[in-house]
Structure formats: C-alpha cells, structure tokens
C-alpha cells in the first residue's frame, strides 16, 4: 500500500504553478496523480503528446480552451479530460489560484516541467 501526505510529496514548479506529484512511474501503478496549483492570472498553452490527462477542479476558477476555440468554464466540481492529446489553453482566474487533481496515463517520471512560450504548446 502506498500512503502519502501532501507535505511529503515532491513539488515541481511546472511553469505557471506547482505540481505536487503523489504517484509517478517509479511507483509502478501505471498512472500519475497530482495536486496541481495554477497561479492566478496565468495562461498556459499545453499539450501532452505522450500522456492522456484528466483534471478535476477542487477550488478556484478558470477556463480551458481547445485549439478550435471551444471554451469551458472550470469551477469546483468540473472534470475535463484530454482524451485525444488535445492542445489547449489553461487559464486561471486573475484573482485566485486554480487547484486541480490530475491523473496522467501513462505515468509521468515525476521531474517533467513545461517550457512555456507564446507561440507553441508546451509538451510532455
């Protein structure tokens, strides 16, 4: 059995926030679980070419926008899943951090960080 507390897990600065990585590839579960903070007022162009990702919002407000321009409000209780390795914008409300519980499949190594830029999506 694996039991971890938030203050015990590695914290990775991913570019526009923090990712606390509860499970990673070395744990042998086949998926990663993170507690992710997206800093208030940030806008991140992201794309996971090697991983599927599902995110469940537990606090804050934000927006996820696909490359076709479809926008979804993200508030507590909202889950969005990137089931086609979708490039997307993740935007946190200007006045509060967005907190997400995220699951990645296959598992992350654990040390990945985004390389954020204005023109191209950051990739894992």
Domains and CATH numbers, the chain: 6-109 (2.60.120.10)
Question: In sequence order, which residues have a C-beta less than 8 Å from that of residue 68 and are 6 or more positions away?
Answer: none
Average pLDDT, the chain: 91
pLDDT confidence of residue 110: 77
The model carries a pTM of 0.89
**Which range (1-5, 17-21, 86-90, 113-117) has the least confidence?**
113-117
Query: Residue 122: is its pLDDT beyond 50?
Result: no
pLDDT confidence of residue 114: 64
Distance in angstroms (rounded) separating the CA atoms of residues 52 and 85: 6
Q: What is the pLDDT confidence band of residue 116, given thresholds at 50, 70 and 90?
A: low
């Amino acid at each position: 059995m694996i039991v971890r507390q938030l203050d015990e897990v590695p914290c990775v600065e991913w570019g526009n926030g923090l990712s606390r990585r509860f499970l990673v590839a070395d744990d042998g579960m086949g998926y990663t679980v993170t507690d992710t903070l997206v800093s208030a007022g940030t806008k991140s162009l992201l794309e996971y070419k090697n991983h599927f990702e599902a995110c469940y919002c537990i606090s804050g407000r934000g927006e996820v926008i696909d490359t076709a321009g479809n926008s979804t409000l993200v508030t507590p209780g909202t889950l969005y899943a990137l089931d086609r390795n979708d490039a997307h914008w993740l935007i946190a409300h200007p006045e509060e951090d967005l907190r997400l519980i995220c699951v990645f499949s296959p598992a992350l190594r654990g040390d990945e960080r985004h390389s954020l830029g204005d023109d191209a999506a950051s990739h894992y």
